[in-house]
Structure 1
Amino acid sequence: MPLLDAAKGIACAVIVGHHLSRYGPMPAGAYALAPDLFAWLSDQGRLAVQVFLVIAGFLAAASLAPDGTLRVDRPVARILQRYGRLVMPYLAALTVCVLVAAVVRPWLDEEVVPASPTFGQLVAHGLLLQDLLGYESLSTGVWYVAIDFQLFALALALVGLPTLLQRSSGGAGGGGAGARLRARWAPVALVIVLAVASLALFNRNAGLDDTAFYFFGTYGLGMLVFWAGRATRFSTWQGAVSLLALVGAGALAIDWRSRIATALVTALLLAIAQRRQWLSPTHWPAAAVPLQRLGRMSYSLFLIHFPVLLAMNAAVANAGPHGAWVDAVGLVATFGLSVAAAALLYRWVEARPASWRGVFTLFAALLVSGLVVSH
């Protein structure tokens, strides 16, 4: 789906720009050259995360339950597989960040530089529990990785619960067309209920922002868009999309949140693109292939850009007296170097099959690196 890759590429570039505009002395020096751009990136750039959440929900529905019912034979194995695919590039990037932070700490007197990690902090990050256990993040944006994993596990549990209950009651072998219809729609109904609860209640409670319940409204919109796109009749699709729009509008009427508005617009645009078959590769122009490639390695870019930002801030800050243009060039160079580093991380780690041997090796590398720089 090249269009989704392109959307992820644009969203990731905005998120990287958000961090470039906020962290270190370079954005402070370059601010005067483009104050409106820096202000927008700093204040609103984080909203691009909502695009990732909607697309993640869309792809989760396509993978786990394309017809509404769970199509996974071994749910626990699937969750562990998801963990492996998420954490291999994540652990590699965290190791780089721990080492870079140790190098630049004497040269960059900024709060943005993470402190020397503790053993418990390293283990918590490796298990994606750092926010739930109250540890300071080793890198910016790593909260998203933990939330993505929670959301995937929660989505799998929701779509699998009706099948599990049916089997436990001994009803797996029959029931006729009515039972099959209920089995198909029960998971969709559960996703709708939890998505509405998230949009109306959980997402308004900042104390829940370390859990999947806070973000499931956005993720659920993506899942529901995918299922709506499976409708063969235009009237059915139109009704489903209208219902999604009403749910989103109702949530915004209760409490206006820019993040939910962004998610709703993304979901509706995705619904239209799916219906018009714009997601097909045949509708993708060759001139936009570089953007598609950026989207494919957007996860690696999201993970690795922060240590590059730390290193460049330290280098520019200690280069002697300079003007705003030097800081601006430094920010552009940071983005370019981040893309190059992401290409290496994608090729060497993310694009390779996940394995427990790889997970354990990278986990050990993170622990050893953290313990070395802490002593």
Structure 2
Amino acid sequence: MADALLHLPEPAQRMSGGAAIPSTSSRLASIDALKAVASQLIVLHHLAFYGPMSDYAQSIAPELISWLSQHARIAVQVFLVLGGFLAAQALARHGRLLEKPVHTLLWRRYLKLVLPFLGALLLAILGAAIARSLVTHDSIPEAPTLAQFIAHVFLLQNVLGFDGISAGVWYVAIDFQLYALLLAALWLSRHAGEHAPVAGRLLVVGLSLASLYYFNRDASWDNWAIYFFGAYGLGAITYWTVHRDEAPLWLGLLVALVIAALLIDYRSRIAVALLVAIPLGVARYAGIIENWPKSKIIAWLGQISFSIFLVHFPICLVINALFERFMPHTPAIQFLGMFVAWAASIGGGELFYQQVECRAQRLLAR
């Protein structure tokens, strides 16, 4: 999952691991709040990680910019856990897979991801072209080759060794892999007949433990879903566990298994995933996940979080280039530029949500 063109470390380092596309179909207040916070941290992380504005502005808030650059990336773990939680809700509310053809479920998931993703790719290519015309900077990707673009369309860019056209595109590909892996586990459990719900949960638990105790400890696996399945499966298991009468007991057992994995090999990304899963399960168990917190702004930011994630990088590229080319290179002005890019990313996300993501979902529904 290396992204040398964009000078991104491997996902295991860049995001401290993690991937899962936030669903736009769920309007659960607690989940929207988590999406809202995580998506804003990712935008701020990329603004701090890439220059040149953050390089000039460093002296104004060195600790803040340094933290955003190095640590805010771990917010992707939120999307991982939520992705598993929402996938379990959509595919198997009680552990048994929906009575629909597997290939249909997988194809619909692919279209749900790729239709808006294609729009974001075109925007990324345009944004990089504009930025290259203004300045030269190592954060600006080159124009993609045809093979590189096609690999992105089929979500195979990382597996085939292509550089990402935009920051974070690896995440979309991994989300599709994670969904497919969960779907495969649930499909296999169908053969257990009346014991399918138990078999499905056990398969997901097994995959999660394999990830936590082995695959997630080896960064060479980070082009594949199994590397990230520990956190994704944690979200799915949390959803199913809360439906049981002994929910506190099962949640406690789940926490113990994850803590044991951390004692063997501490990874902050897994610790964050656990810290997301616990309150998510508690909120579901307490019956407040649907309506807490009550905030129209948070709900709105959560609703457009996927669109913000898709479009923020080319927007930030262009504003970085404009401030580098036409504005004074003083810390205050460049810090203001970072704020402008942040606000523009939110505005761009809203526009993309209305004009692209919603239209894509309506097309898919038809």
Do the two structures share a fold, i.e. TM-score over 0.5? yes
Kept in 1, the 8 Å contact 2:304–2:350? The answer is: yes
Equivalent residue for 1:73, pick from 69, 76, 100: 100
Q: Report how far residue 353 of structure 1 moved.
A: 4.5
* Per-residue Cα deviation, 1:145-200 (whole angstroms, up to 9, x for no partner): 0011110111011011121x35xxxxx6xxxxxxx2x2220000000011000001
**2:233 corresponding residue in structure 1:** 220
| 1:208 correspondence with 2:221 | yes
Kept in 1, the 8 Å contact 2:207–2:230? The answer is: yes
Kept in 2, the 8 Å contact 1:195–1:217? The answer is: yes
SS at 1:105 equivalent: helix
Q: Report how far residue 105 of structure 1 moved.
A: 1.0
**1:42 corresponding residue in structure 2:** 69
Q: Give structure 1 stretches of 5+ with no counterpart.
A: 167-171, 173-179, 359-375
Kept in 2, the 8 Å contact 1:108–1:313? The answer is: no
> Structure 2 matches for 1:311-330, cutoff 5 A?
311-330=318-337
Equivalent residue for 2:162, pick from 122, 129, 135: 135
Q: Report how far residue 298 of structure 1 moved.
A: 0.4
Aligned residues, how many?
A: 338
**2:5 corresponding residue in structure 1:** none
Kept in 2, the 8 Å contact 1:84–1:354? The answer is: no
* Per-residue Cα deviation, 1:93-141 (whole angstroms, up to 9, x for no partner): 1101101211221422211111121110000001100000000100000
Equivalent residue for 2:296, pick from 289, 293, 312: 289
Distance 1:353 1:28, change over 3 A: closer
| RMSD between superposed Cα atoms in Å | 1.5
> Structure 2 matches for 1:357-372, cutoff 5 A?
none
**1:252 corresponding residue in structure 2:** 262
> Structure 2 matches for 1:274-285, cutoff 5 A?
274-281=284-291, 283-285=292-294
SS at 2:57 equivalent: helix
Q: Hey, what's the Cα distance between the residues in 1 that align with 2:353 and 2:203?
A: 35
| 1:273 correspondence with 2:286 | no
Q: Hey, what's the Cα distance between the residues in 1 that align with 2:248 and 2:51?
A: 48
Q: Report how far residue 351 of structure 1 moved.
A: 1.5
Q: Report how far residue 280 of structure 1 moved.
A: 1.9
**1:16 corresponding residue in structure 2:** 43
Q: Hey, what's the Cα distance between the residues in 2 that align with 1:335 and 1:271?
A: 31
Q: For residue 203 of structure 1, what is the amino acid of its counterpart?
A: N
* Per-residue Cα deviation, 1:317-369 (whole angstroms, up to 9, x for no partner): 011533101111101110111111111110112123448899xxxxxxxxxxx
**1:187 corresponding residue in structure 2:** 200
**1:262 corresponding residue in structure 2:** 272
Q: Which has the larger radius of gyration?
A: 1
User: For structure 1, which segment, 117-126 or 101-110, has the greater mean C-alpha deviation from structure 2 after superposition?
Assistant: 101-110
Q: Hey, what's the Cα distance between the residues in 1 that align with 2:224 and 2:250?
A: 28
TM-score with structure 2 setting the length: 0.90
* Per-residue Cα deviation, 1:190-243 (whole angstroms, up to 9, x for no partner): 000110000010001111101100000000000000001111x2xx11111011
Q: Hey, what's the Cα distance between the residues in 1 that align with 2:280 and 2:327?
A: 48
TM-score with structure 1 setting the length: 0.87
Q: Percent identity at matched positions? A: 41
Q: Report how far residue 72 of structure 1 moved.
A: 3.9
